[in-house]
Structure 1
Amino acid sequence: MSWVAGLLQAKKRDLFSFRLIGIFLVIEVLLITVQTWRSEPSHFNTNSALNSSIQFFTELLVTISVIVIADLTFRSFGRLTVPADMKLAVRGGMSLLLAGCLIGFLILGIGYHQLSIDRAPETYGTRGVLKYPHGIPLHAIQILPLISWLSERFGHETRTRTMLVQTGLAFVIAFTGFGLLQTFTGHSRFESWAGLYLYWGSCIVIIGLWLVSTWSHLMSQNVPSSAVCDVE
């Protein structure tokens, strides 16, 4: 995220915010590690005063970190002096990162509800894994800029790089939807069922049509490989 911040218009609070989020995330990982070392669940663990305190501080640290992530995400839709494909990669990646964080809050609420009715907080329905859809979109901010960077290194022009980033973005969104579908229909991660085939069939058709339309639009424009988007 420091790399993303370097692309944005600087604000006075940035240095403090980034140091804060770095420290908070290290502490969060440390608390989870401590719980693992104690052979205690790292989430939804309120069976003692110590565990409740660790759970509270972990959630507090994550919440503050998400506020910083949200700020970066909204600012990424401002002025970015990078090529069109990298702009899409940054904005799409940050949006999906924020979406993953918000899904995390959703499953946290569901987990506590499950606890209140004496059900396992990690499972939804019969076999749905609540944390599954949370993790999928978090890595888009790494994947999409990597696609943009690699395609540039291989000498592809802007329209091709944009197409590749759009393809990556579409599939991350599709896999996030897949995770949500599997979880909230009570199916395990890779369990096959009729609705799953219908979902992926629809995704492939929609993504295919979208990519054909996008490619036609890009081909109709004379976009040079060195194009840089400076749109406000």
Structure 2
Amino acid sequence: MKMPRAAVDRVCRTTGLLLVVSGLVHLVVFAVDGGPWDGPVSWRKPVTFGLSFGVTLIALTWVTSYLRMGARLRSAVLLVLAADFVAEVGGITLQAWRRVPSHLNMETLFDASVSMALAVGGGVLVVLLTVFAVVSFRHRPTGPAGMPLAVRSGFALLLVALASGAAMIARGVVLTRTGHQEAAYHSTAPLKPLHGISLHAVLALPLLAGLLSRTPWSERTRRRIVAAAAGCYAAAVALAAVRAALTY
């Protein structure tokens, strides 16, 4: 039976909220339990992944409402995306409680299985989010003044986040398979700022356009502000990319 669009959006928003709550709960766990914040084994990962994936899912549920795409395709992609986000955060959280690394961990058969599942899940995310990005460029998004540019810019920068994430996994896998396990755990550090900054443009820029739509300013002014913000955001991503290239 076809699931109504409103129901799909509600499921995705609720799932995103639960992921955010999970991140906040583990922030409390970190405050109580202590331990290092950085490194392959820490409470940082369930905190940051829970918060980031939760906010991203909520943002995508809203932002994709401006895309000109079939309701059935949008619903299917969002639901699979939500399930994948839950699986990713779940695997990371499980390994945090087991006090072992979640990614690039080939120490035991179980750890290798979790690591592989997370890598496959990451690949699924790349495919699904690329679908939304392609749609945003094939058909001009709807929405108030500045929103089409905000949505397209957000998805364009999201592709940078996906590429940097894929690069982190690829390099880590190569190091792991060549016997440099410890180096693999630390190899992702140079790309993390680039990945984090570019990931949330798909929320920040459309949110700005949405807030500007509530002002009395002219459409031309709002478009210019969004364009300036998109340019500044792209510049920040470019600087992060240069830093990553110099330290990678």
Please say whether Structure 1 and Structure 2 have the same fold, judged by a TM-score greater than 0.5.
yes
Of residues 39, 42, 45 in structure 1, which corresponds to 2:102? 42
- Summarize the alignment of residues 1-232 of structure 1 with structure 2, pairs less than 5 Å apart: 1-11=60-70, 12-77=72-137, 78-115=139-176, 116=178, 118=180, 120-124=183-187, 129-186=190-247
Deviation of 1:171 (Å): 2.0
- Alignment correspondent of 1:226: none
Deviation of 1:58 (Å): 0.9
**8 Å CA contact retained: 1:128, 1:186:** no
**8 Å CA contact retained: 1:123, 1:130:** no
**8 Å CA contact retained: 1:80, 1:87:** yes
**8 Å CA contact retained: 2:69, 2:135:** no
SS at match of 1:120: helix
**8 Å CA contact retained: 1:103, 1:133:** yes
CA change 1:144–1:27 in 2 (3 A) is same
Deviation of 1:152 (Å): 2.3
Whole-angstrom CA distance in 1 between matches of 2:132 and 2:205? 16
SS at match of 1:155: coil
**8 Å CA contact retained: 1:24, 1:65:** yes
**8 Å CA contact retained: 1:76, 1:91:** yes
Q: What is the count of residue pairs matched by the alignment?
A: 185
- Alignment correspondent of 1:193: none
CA change 1:143–1:40 in 2 (3 A) is same
Deviations 1:66-93 (A, max 9, x none): 2111111111120433234110000110
CA change 1:47–1:182 in 2 (3 A) is same
Query: Which amino acid in 1 is paired with 2:131?
Result: D
**8 Å CA contact retained: 2:144, 2:209:** no
- Scaled by the length of structure 2, the TM-score of the pair is 0.68
Whole-angstrom CA distance in 2 between matches of 1:98 and 1:53? 27
Deviation of 1:117 (Å): 5.8
Whole-angstrom CA distance in 2 between matches of 1:159 and 1:123? 46
**Over the residues paired in the alignment, what is the CA RMSD in angstroms?**
2.1
Identity %: 29
Q: Report which of the two has the higher share of helix.
A: 2
Deviates further, 136-145 or 168-177: 168-177
Gaps of 5+ in 1: 188-232
Gaps of 5+ in 2: 1-59
Whole-angstrom CA distance in 2 between matches of 1:172 and 1:113? 32
Whole-angstrom CA distance in 2 between matches of 1:175 and 1:113? 29
**8 Å CA contact retained: 1:25, 1:62:** no
Deviates further, 27-36 or 60-69: 60-69
